[in-house]
């Protein structure tokens, strides 16, 4: 039935449903930071479905092997029809709410407030408001249509420039102090009144980004040819780039100030978790949903070893076992403990594959949390009240309670973890893991001890993850079970997935986007998990190799379907998680 509706209208309907969803779930009404002028984040989000749908119907598509490109003249009306449909749906929504009364609807859908309704109708009641909304959606759809019908060399810079403008508008809280630190004026860029971009600033940023991207794309080959002419110049370029990154990393906490340094610290902790999980999931192909266990082990072990106190009803008390080691002496012990926990978790699940492994590890993660916070082990870990007064051993002038100093501690750990991940990826160990990920039974038959390498992956992943936990203990100085929910595992997974499984830069970018942006843009905090859920689904459906795929695997996942089909039928039979020793070849020869 749905298929009989013309494509354009269908796209509009989907966009309309998404728009209504965004209104109901609250993002449109409650994200009120201004991005440009008086346009709030919520409005930007509300406008995206129509633009995107317009874009999708107008962009070039392949029809029976032939690329069909629509002209801009055809793109506009197509986009407009999309917008009309979207607008109509939103108008119906507004109508229904008005009919029932905002207060009635609000009893069920808490996001439906007068503010949302006036945002949808531009402050006009009745038919006028609905007509305005429909007109706006038509315009948005048409804009999407235009973008979709543009030629690539114009479209790509346009999209990038628009993204940069919006990001800059969102990140004012971090950009503004940084510019001030550098002694730069930014009142032309950011409005003092709305705290978003000024229209002039937005236009300027757009133009500059557009021109730069356009020029770069046109000339990148020539530039590359010049810098990579000889090995010496190539190395020179690399040194300059590395030096610039290094300088940037050192200057960063001072530029953004102490509040945002804390967010950077958290980003770093998730980079560590992501890198550790990346070894388990990305390299060895073992989906571990209980990764929070290592985070908890790292944090609690650090607390116990460095002399944290239990919280009791009467005050503080030392745990039943306690040492007062320096953080840096405790760290190796923490790592060893976590690696052992990795072995303990890994050992019973050696036989399990794929999805069963995921669920069982999830169970282990939950068990870890329940045990750490149970009354049973209260003497050791403080029960639900947890532990507090975890010291942060300073070195010299660096005091790690200070968020800017803490940043450097995290940075050092991250660099170590990146180095380890990078070395392992291209070594005998990494190859064995990869072989195991590709085909466990064949890896075994070629001489890789899958038992050993599975355990090794759990231990290694756990060790790196525990560093994240140890740093977390130092960062917050207090622990309780709320910090060790399943969500930590899922967040770490989202970090790995967004960037691309097996990709080290992917983990860094994943953590910056998924931890950094909600951190800076604090309004967004309550929708953080909604975002993670959406990211996990969207990446898996649209781009399973992630945003920054592992170099080697970049081409491959595109062709995964083909490879899957071609690859011997027996492989699918092998994949049943729990079947015991499966016939390779046929059971009876």
Partner 1 sequence: MAEGTDLQPAPSPATARLGRLQRLPLRRLIQIVLAILIIGFVVLGTYKTLNLPPDERYDPSTWKAFVISGVAQGGIYALIALGYTLVYGVLRMINFAHGEVFMMGCFASFFFADAYASSGLLNRHPFYALAIIFAIAMLTSCLIAMLLERVAYRPLRNSPRLVPLITAIGASLFLQNTAFGLFGPQTQAYPVPDVLGGDRTWTILGITMQRIQVVVIVTAVVAVIGLTLFISRTRTGRSIRAVAEDREIASLMGIDVDRTIMITFALGGLLAGVAGVQFGLTFGQVSPYIGFTPGIAAFTASVLGGIGSIGGAALGGLLLGLLQAVGPPLLFTGFNIPAPFQLQDVITFSVLVLVLIFRPGGILGSGEAEKV
Partner 2 sequence: MNLLDVQGVSKHFGGLYALSGLDFAVEEGEILSIIGPNGAGKSTVFNVITGLYAPDDGDVVFRGESIVGLTPNQITRLGIARTFQTVHLFPNMTVLENAMVGQHCRSRTTIFGAVFLTPSMRREERSIREHAESALGFFGQRLAGYRQDQPAFSLSYANRRRLEMARALATEPSLLLLDEPTAGMNPRETLELRDHIVRMRDDLGLTILVIEHDMRVVKGVSDRVVACDYGQKIAEGSYEDVANDEHVIEAYLGTKAAG
Residues that bind partner 1 (CB under 8 A): 21, 24-27, 107-111, 285, 287, 289, 347-352, 354-356, 358-360, 362-364, 366-367, 370-371, 374-376, 378, 451, 486, 490, 493-494, 497, 526-527, 529-530, 532-538, 540-541, 544, 560-561, 564-565, 575-580
185 versus 566: smaller Cβ distance to partner 2:
566
Instruction: Determine the Cα–Cα distance for residues 575 and 357; give it in Å rounded to an integer.
Output: 13
DSSP for 203-262 reads HHHHHHHHHHHHHHHHHHHHHHHHHTSSHHHHHHHHHHHHHHHHHHHHHHHHHHHHHHHH
When CB distances are held under 5 to 8 angstroms depending on the partner's kind, the choice from partner 2, partner 1, none that residue 587 binds is: partner 2
Residue 193, C-beta contacts closer than 8 angstroms, at least 6 positions apart: none
How far is residue 366's CA from residue 376's CA, in Å, rounded to a whole number? 16
Closest approach, Cβ 108 to partner 1, in A, equals 5
* Alpha-carbon separation of residue 64 from 67, 68, 71, 345 (angstroms): 8, 10, 19, 51
Smallest distance from partner 1 to CB 439, Å = 12
Q: Which is nearer to partner 2, 164 or 442 (CB)?
A: 442
Residue 99: HSE in the Cβ half-sphere, 13 Å Cα cutoff: 6
Residue 566 CB, shortest distance to partner 2, in Å, is: 7
**Minimum CB distance to partner 1 smaller for 466 or for 545:** 545
Burial (CB < 10 A; 0-12, 13-18, 19+), residue 173, is middle
Q: Which is nearer to partner 1, 129 or 346 (CB)?
A: 346
In the bound complex, what is the minimum distance in angstroms from residue 582's beta carbon to partner 2?
8
Name which of partner 1, partner 2, none residue 243 binds, using a CB cut-off of 5 to 8 Å depending on partner kind. none
Contacted entry of partner 1, partner 2, none for residue 559, CB cut-off 5 to 8 Å set by kind: partner 2
Selection from partner 1, partner 2, none that 428 binds (CB < 5 to 8 A by kind) is partner 2
Closer CB to partner 2, 81 or 463, in the complex: 463
Instruction: Output the smallest distance, CB 61 to partner 1, in A.
Output: 17
Quick one: what does residue 26 bind among partner 2, partner 1, none, with the CB cut-off 5 to 8 Å set by partner type? partner 1
Helices 528-542 + 486-499 axis angle, to 10? 40
Nearer to partner 2, 272 or 435 (CB): 435
Minimum distance from residue 584 beta carbon to partner 2 (Å):
5
CA dihedral sign of residues 171, 174, 179, 180? positive
CB atoms closer than 10 angstroms to residue 344: 15
Task: List % helix, strand, coil for the chain (3-state, nearest 5).
Answer: 75, 5, 25
How many CB atoms neighbour CB 106 within 10 A?
A: 16
Which CB sits closer to partner 1, 94 or 134?
A: 94
C-alpha distances in angstroms, 76 versus 6, 18, 57, 79?
16, 21, 10, 5
Which residues, 6 or more positions from 543, have their beta carbon under 8 angstroms from its beta carbon?
A: none
- Strand pairing report for 387-388 and 309-312: antiparallel
Gap between the Cα atoms of 95 and 89, Å rounded: 10
Nearer to partner 1, 17 or 156 (CB): 17
Q: Which does 354 bind (CB under 5 to 8 A by kind): partner 1, partner 2, none?
A: partner 1
Cβ proximity to partner 1: between 21 and 216 the closer is 21
Structure tokens at 294: 């290592």
**SS3 category, 316:** strand
* Least CB distance to partner 1 at residue 19 (A): 15
Nearest approach, Cβ of 12 to partner 1 (angstroms)?
17
As measured in angstroms, the least distance from the Cβ of 410 to partner 2 is: 20
Q: Which residues bind partner 2 (CB under 8 A)?
A: 419-420, 423-424, 427-432, 434-435, 438-439, 441-451, 456, 460, 552-553, 555-556, 559, 563, 566-571, 581, 583-589
Minimal distance, residue 430 CB to partner 1, in Å:
19
Nearer to partner 2, 453 or 472 (CB): 453
Select from partner 2, partner 1, none the partner in contact with residue 352, using the beta carbon and a kind-dependent cut-off of 5 to 8 Å.
partner 1
- What distance separates the 2 farthest-apart alpha carbons in the chain? 78
């Amino acid at each position: 039935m749905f298929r009989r509706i013309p494509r354009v209208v269908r796209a509009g309907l989907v966009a309309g449903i998404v728009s209504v969803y965004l209104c109901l779930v609250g993002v449109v009404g409650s994200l009120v930071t201004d991005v440009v002028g008086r346009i709030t984040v919520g409005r930007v989000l509300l406008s995206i479905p129509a633009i995107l749908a317009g874009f999708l119907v107008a962009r070039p598509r392949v029809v029976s092997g032939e690329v069909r490109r629509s002209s801009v003249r055809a793109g506009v009306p197509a986009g407009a029809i999309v917008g009309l449909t979207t607008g109509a749906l939103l108008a119906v929504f507004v109508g229904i709410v008005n009919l029932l009364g905002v207060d009635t609807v609000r009893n069920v859908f808490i996001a439906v407030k007068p503010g949302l309704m006036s945002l949808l109708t531009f402050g006009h009641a009745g038919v006028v408001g609905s007509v305005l909304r429909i007109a706006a959606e038509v315009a948005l759809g048409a804009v999407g249509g235009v973008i979709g019908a543009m030629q690539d060399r114009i479209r790509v810079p346009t999209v990038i420039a628009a993204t940069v403008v919006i990001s800059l508008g969102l990140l004012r809280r971090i950009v503004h102090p940084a510019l001030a630190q550098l002694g730069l004026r930014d009142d032309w860029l950011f409005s003092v009144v709305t705290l978003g971009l000024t229209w002039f600033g937005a236009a300027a940023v757009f133009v500059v980004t557009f021109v730069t991207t356009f020029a770069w794309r046109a000339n990148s080959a020539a530039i590359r040819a010049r810098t990579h002419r000889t090995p010496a110049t190539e190395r020179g370029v690399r040194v300059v780039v590395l030096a610039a990154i290094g300088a940037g990393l050192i200057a960063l906490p001072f530029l953004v100030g102490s509040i945002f340094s804390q967010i950077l610290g958290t980003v770093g902790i998730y980079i560590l978790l992501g890198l550790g999980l990346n070894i388990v999931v990305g390299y060895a192909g073992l989906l571990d949903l209980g990764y929070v266990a290592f985070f908890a082990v790292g944090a609690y072990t650090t607390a116990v070893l460095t002399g944290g106190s239990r919280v009791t009803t009467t005050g503080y008390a030392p745990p039943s076992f306690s040492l007062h080691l320096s953080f840096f002496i405790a760290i190796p012990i923490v790592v060893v403990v976590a690696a052992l926990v990795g072995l303990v978790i890994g050992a019973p699940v050696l036989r399990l594959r794929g999805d069963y492994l995921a669920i069982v590890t999830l169970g282990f993660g939950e068990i870890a949390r329940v045990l750490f916070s149970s009354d049973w082990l209260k003497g050791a870990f403080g029960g639900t009240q947890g532990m507090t007064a975890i010291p942060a051993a300073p070195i010299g002038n660096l005091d790690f309670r200070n968020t800017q100093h803490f940043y450097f501690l995290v940075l050092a750990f991250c660099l170590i973890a990146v180095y380890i991940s990078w070395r392992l990826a291209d070594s005998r160990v990494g190859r064995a893991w990869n072989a195991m990920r590709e085909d466990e039974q064949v890896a075994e038959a070629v001489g890789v001890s899958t038992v050993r390498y599975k355990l090794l992956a759990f231990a290694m992943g756990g060790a790196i993850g525990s560093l994240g936990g140890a740093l977390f203990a130092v960062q917050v100085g207090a622990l309780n079970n709320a910090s060790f929910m399943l969500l930590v595992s899922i967040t770490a997974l989202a970090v790995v997935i967004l960037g691309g499984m097996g990709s080290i830069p992917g983990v860094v970018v994943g953590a910056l986007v998924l931890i950094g942006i909600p951190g800076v843009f604090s309004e967004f905090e309550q929708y953080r998990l909604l975002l993670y859920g959406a990211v996990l689904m969207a990446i898996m459906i649209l781009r399973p190799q992630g945003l920054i795929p592992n170099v080697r695997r970049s081409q491959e996942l595109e062709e995964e379907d083909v490879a899957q089909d071609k690859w011997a039928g027996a492989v699918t039979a092998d994949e049943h998680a729990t079947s015991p020793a499966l016939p390779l070849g046929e059971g009876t020869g």
